[in-house]
Chain A
């Protein structure tokens, strides 16, 4: 049973922006509802107005241009997990999406909604940060593009302005020698630890440093400093150990039902090593 609210079905982003201006804090953008309806049922949030953006047709598209995969804001995990273009260009993202929560959440929930809610125990942020993905926002002052790393500022907190709406998630197209991996440990509905690794590999060496990002253990996804590993051999166990150690040092795990801070820090090392092994396995 939910307290009374009104749902506004809008047909343009401008209309959604206007409603956000009009209702302010009393309105939330609504697509899959898998996070906000739950929050309302648990009494953690209350809005008098939900702005349903699923009726904005332009937000329901996946497209590829010269350098970007654009994922419209109302695209569900279900669609991404099955999308032939995503599977071909970014198989690591397709696999991640196929393992978000459960099949019902994937059928309704959207990638953009997942980012906007900024639940720390989430799969997509780590990989999207590692891939250098950005979010396209539109507000009354116009549109802007923000890296996912800057969009999520804390637990359930984002840099989305009070009258802004997510239009799309933009993922840069990986080059031919780019490898990406996302591995996670999960005992409940949400990941306990997730580690993403993205790197270009040429002639058995990293081109520059690999991007390694740890998700779900901390308040936000944490980038692991890997500058020292520029040009390293991705298959060398010493590379994996160096990344694992840097990853353990980079996080400040929050203890919860999924485990203590120490336990999670240990898992971060294990899964950082596995993410690197996965990259190495793809590269040869």
Chain B
């Protein structure tokens, strides 16, 4: 207790790390140099710190790092396949679904979990799923459009 060694699969790579019990998952991933995951509200409300834990979206600001032990953690850095952008990333760029971009990693990671569970969501499902991700610049229309567009791209290129 106090500090322990955990092994997580971080963006597909097994990583043994030493963490204190009270360390937060966002501190762990950002400490490992993966600074795409952003902190904002620090209260599970805004979604900028979203990462996937065994495929489910969680607020890394309010998740203990030790929860990642033996599990898959996916951050925005793991979304693209090398230089090839993920369909969600392409759709967000092409549909201008961001301005400052601070919320975008959380938006994309959260949407990825949705599309893995529901490859053909309707507009209402996208809105309901994404309602916990806050954007203060651009409004949500283009974001919803981008997620729907990405779903279509993923269906046409299996």
Interaction A to B: yes
Asked whether, in the complex, the Cβ of A107 is within 8 Å of the Cβ of B56, the reply is: yes
Q: Are A108 and B47 in contact (CB under 8 A)?
A: no
Alpha-carbon distance between A55 and B62 when the two chains are bound, in angstroms? 19
Q: List 5 A-B contacts (CB under 8 A).
A: A4-B22, A6-B2, A7-B64, A103-B132, A189-B45
Cβ–Cβ contact B1 & A33, under 8 A: no
SS class, residues of chain A in contact with chain B: mixed
Distance in Å: Cβ of B87 to nearest Cβ of chain A: 20
Is the CB–CB distance between A107 and B42 below 8 Å? no
Contact stretch, chosen from A34-42, A176-184, A259-267: A34-42
In the assembled complex, B20 has its CB within 8 A of some CB on chain A: yes
Instruction: Give the top 6 A-B pairs by smallest Cβ distance, nearest first.
Output: A102-B132, A2-B22, A107-B56, A6-B1, A7-B21, A104-B59
Which residue on chain B has the smallest CB distance to residue A30? B64
Contact of B110 among A2, A41, A101, A103 (CB under 8 A): A103
Instruction: Identify 17 new A-B residue pairs, CB closer than 8 A, beyond the known A38-B62, A50-B21.
Output: A1-B27, A2-B22, A6-B21, A8-B1, A33-B62, A37-B64, A38-B43, A38-B44, A78-B56, A101-B44, A102-B133, A103-B110, A103-B113, A104-B57, A104-B58, A104-B110, A107-B56
Chain B contributes a number of interface residues (CB within 8 A of A) equal to: 29
Chain A 87-115 interface 0/1 with B at a Cβ cutoff of 8 Å (1 = within): 00000000000000111110110000000
Q: Kindly state the separation between the CA atoms of A105 and B41 in the bound complex, as whole angstroms.
A: 14
- Known contacts A5-B22, A7-B64; A104 and B44 CB within 8 A of each other: yes
Q: Are B22 and A108 in contact (CB under 8 A)?
A: no
Q: How many residues of A contact B (CB 8 A)?
A: 24
A104 and B64 contacting across the interface, CB-CB below 8 Å:
no
Chain A residues within 8 Å of B, Cβ to Cβ: 1-8, 33-34, 37-38, 41-42, 50, 78, 101-105, 107-108, 189
Please, which residue of chain B has its CB at the minimum distance from the CB of A188?
B45
Chain A CB count within 10 A is highest, among B24, B64, B110, B113, for B64
- A residues within 8 A CB of B20? 4
List B contacts of A5 (CB < 8 A): 21-22
Give the interface of B toward A (CB within 8 A). Answer: 1-2, 20-24, 27, 42-45, 47, 50, 53, 56-59, 62-64, 66, 110, 113, 129, 131-133
| Complex interface: chain B residues within 8 A of A1 (CB) | 24, 27
Specify which of B2, B27, B47, B66 is in contact with A104 (CB 8 Å cutoff): B47
Tell me how far the C-beta of A188 lies from the nearest C-beta in chain B, rounded to whole angstroms: 8
Contact between chains at A107 and B58 (CB < 8 Å): yes
Query: In whole Å, how far is A9's beta carbon from the nearest beta carbon of chain B?
Result: 9
Residue of A nearest to B20 (CB): A4
| Residues in B neighbouring A78, C-beta threshold 8 A | 56
A residues in contact with B2, CB < 8 Å: 4, 6
**Nearest-Cβ distance from residue A10 to partner chain B, whole angstroms:** 12
Chain A residues in 8 Å Cβ range of B21: 4-7, 50
- Given known pairs A7-B1, A7-B66, A8-B1, the reply for A105 and B44 (CB within 8 Å) is yes
Tell me, rounded to whole Å, the shortest Cβ–Cβ distance linking B12 to chain A: 21
Q: How far is the CA of A50 from the CA of B1 in the complex (A)?
A: 11
Contacts of A42 in B (CB 8 A): 43
Are A107 and B57 touching (Cβ within 8 A)?
A: yes
A105 to B61, CA, bound (A): 12
Query: Contact between B22 and A3 (Cβ–Cβ < 8 Å)?
Result: yes
Among A3, A8, A42, A189, the most chain B Cβ lie within 10 Å of the Cβ of: A189
A51 to B59, CA, bound (A): 21
B-chain residues with CB within 8 Å of residue A103 when the two chains form the complex: 57, 110, 113, 129, 132
Which chain B residues border A4 with CB–CB below 8 Å? 2, 20-22
Measured CA separation A103–B46 after assembly (Å): 11
Which residues of the other chain, B, contact A107 by a CB distance below 8 angstroms?
Answer: 53, 56-58
